[in-house]
Amino acid sequence: AHGTQAEETLIGRRGRLLGAKSQLFYDEPVHLVRGEGVWLYDADGRQYLDAYNNVAHVGHCHPHVVEALCRQASLLNTHTRYLHTAILDYVERLTATFDASLTTAILTCTGSEANDIALRMAQATSGQMGIIATDATYHGNTTAVSQLSTRMPPVGGRAPYVRLVPAPDSFRHPDAMADGKAFGDAVREAIASLAKDGIGLSGMILCPLLANEGFPTLPSGFFDDAVAAVREAGGLVIADEVQPGFGRTGSHFWGHQRAGFVPDVVTMGKPMGNGHPVAAVVTTSEILATFRNAFRYFNTFGGNPVSCAVANAVLDVLEDENLVANARDVGIYALSLLRPLADRHDCIGEVRGAGLFFGAELVHDRETREPAPDIAGRVINAMRDRGVLMGKTGIHGNVLKIRPPMPFSRAHAELLIGTLDEVLGGVGGVMA
Ligand code: PMP
């Protein structure tokens, strides 16, 4: 049912109303109307296996989450300047999953807003502006955090207080990955470069999984040197958990716990409300107090009673259905199915990942490691045509990104990898 009249009309209408460049996935965009568990259904009733959606963390339309949302929405929803216990109960439960130093939170509606607050916490605490991120990241869409994105360069150019350090690349520069020393050195250079321009350090923001950078394989303790450098210079360490958070990596509830460091500020979003827009910044009571004194921060919707009921229900399901353990088990199994594909398909340069966040880096040539973003694009489109939804990411846009809802099972992994095997066979012949 590709390119039907109705579908073209819908794309045209979308372009007219939302702008021609409003982002859509796939050459033939999918028109979804329903979701259930790991399955999505389009307007023609066609079923797709969702191997991409970390937003529907505990599964699309999970009945427990839907019920919590409906119950609270039919009882009360307000702005956030009244007393209400839901936000307090939730923050207690959420912060219990962190290091004992991280006891307080601000709830927001998006990960971008959370990161925007995190940057201001670092500025207020240090009294400085300098901020360090990697050169292949994305931390959101506000004016402040879009300064950290290289894919969408900020209008007016990069602010003088931003330094972007080279993103680690375990495939092309494995030596530099040995112990994080080279990354730490790059962070020290960035701090020195800021100082040379008379700019002090406020902090460093990192996704502990380096998800948008292509989730390179990091040895344990990789960030230790960089974290130490930032703290020596008086900066805060901000962990952006928008992608690895809420147990996705299977081994730990948070990506920074897996990476082995304790941040000063943690931000989270996407999976937190299973699709409902709720996000958060978690930090120490001291940093929060400094921020609250420096800014009169108020968020109309952030942490409203419905958002808190939903976020709380997501934690219930994660616990009740043992989904973190499932992510570990199915993630290991899926990698064991994916690795042998490299023996059959020359375009696979490296297979990597953790828990239910894994994929493969595609190349034109294993010797030169020339990235193959074109093949990655054709693979995800061919997968979509066969009813499996996944994405691509990474420094060169050539890393297949598989990040399904957490109830993904071994049988789903078999379907996914079996389909990928077929697709790679097809694209290999045509594209080699
Ligand atoms: N941080 C990271 C690491 C992200 O990947 C994203 C979104 N892809 C964001 C922040 C922004 O989150 P949101 O779209 O909810 O504003």
**In angstroms, rounded to a whole number, what is the distance separating the alpha carbons of residues 357 and 331?**
7
Q: How many beta carbons lie within 10 A of that of residue 185, not counting itself?
A: 15
Q: Angle between the 285-294 and 111-126 helix axes, to the nearest 10 degrees?
A: 90
Q: What separation in Å is there between the alpha carbon of 236 and the centre of ligand 1?
A: 20
Atom of ligand 1 nearest to the CA of 269: 15
**In angstroms, rounded to a whole number, what is the distance separating the alpha carbons of residues 179 and 320?**
37
Atom of ligand 1 nearest to the CA of 115: 10
CA 346, distance to chain mean position in Å, is 28
Tokens of 231: 């703290």
Q: What separation in Å is there between the alpha carbon of 198 and the centre of ligand 1?
A: 30
Q: Which of 138, 248, 276 to mutate to test the pocket of ligand 1 (most atoms within 8 A of CB)?
A: 138
Per the CB < 8 A criterion, the answer to whether 78 and 305 are in contact is: yes
Q: Which CATH class is domain 31-58+322-431?
A: alpha beta
- pLDDT for 427 equals 80
Q: Which of 119, 212, 270, 393 to mutate to test the pocket of ligand 1 (most atoms within 8 A of CB)?
A: 270
β pairing state of 279-283 and 201-206: unpaired
pTM: 0.96
Concatenating the DSSP letter of every residue in 113-176 gives HHHHHHHHHHHHHHS--EEEEETT----SSTTGGGG-SSSPPTT---TTEEEEPPP-TTT-GGG
CA dihedral 15, 20, 22, 23 (to 10 degrees): 100
Q: H or E segment at 388?
A: strand 388-389
Q: What separation in Å is there between the alpha carbon of 346 and the centre of ligand 1?
A: 33
SS3 67: helix
Q: What separation in Å is there between the alpha carbon of 215 and the centre of ligand 1?
A: 15
Beta bridge partners of 363: 371
Instruction: Look up residue 143 and give its amino acid.
Output: T
- pLDDT for 377 equals 97
Q: Pocket residues for ligand 1 (CB within 6 Å)?
A: 110-112, 115, 138-141, 207, 211-212, 240, 242-243, 269-270, 279
- pLDDT for 430 equals 43
**In angstroms, rounded to a whole number, what is the distance separating the alpha carbons of residues 13 and 352?**
39
Q: What separation in Å is there between the alpha carbon of 177 and the centre of ligand 1?
A: 25
| Each residue's pLDDT expressed in tens, for the chain with a length of 432 residues | 455 565 568 999 999 999 988 889 999 999 999 999 999 999 999 999 999 999 999 999 999 999 999 999 999 999 999 999 999 999 999 999 999 999 999 999 999 999 999 999 999 999 999 999 999 999 999 999 999 988 777 888 999 999 999 999 999 998 888 899 999 999 999 999 999 999 999 999 999 999 999 999 999 899 999 999 999 999 999 999 999 999 999 999 999 999 999 999 999 999 999 999 999 999 999 999 999 999 999 999 999 999 999 999 999 999 999 999 999 999 999 999 999 999 999 999 999 999 999 999 999 999 999 999 999 999 999 999 999 999 999 999 999 999 999 999 999 999 999 999 999 998 854 443
**Domain limits, the chain:** 31-58+322-431, 63-320
Which residue's alpha carbon is nearest to atom 13 within ligand 1?
111
Beta bridge partners of 164: 133
CATH number of 63-320: 3.40.640.10
- pLDDT for 426 equals 87
Place of tokens 């929803």: 77
Tokens of 49: 């296996």
DSSP 276: B
Q: What separation in Å is there between the alpha carbon of 140 and the centre of ligand 1?
A: 5
- pLDDT for 175 equals 87
Instruction: Look up residue 318 and give its amino acid.
Output: L
Contacts of 156 (CB under 8 A, 6+ apart): none
Place of tokens 């406020």: 202
Which residue's alpha carbon is nearest to atom 12 within ligand 1?
111
Q: Which of 243, 256, 272 to mutate to test the pocket of ligand 1 (most atoms within 8 A of CB)?
A: 243
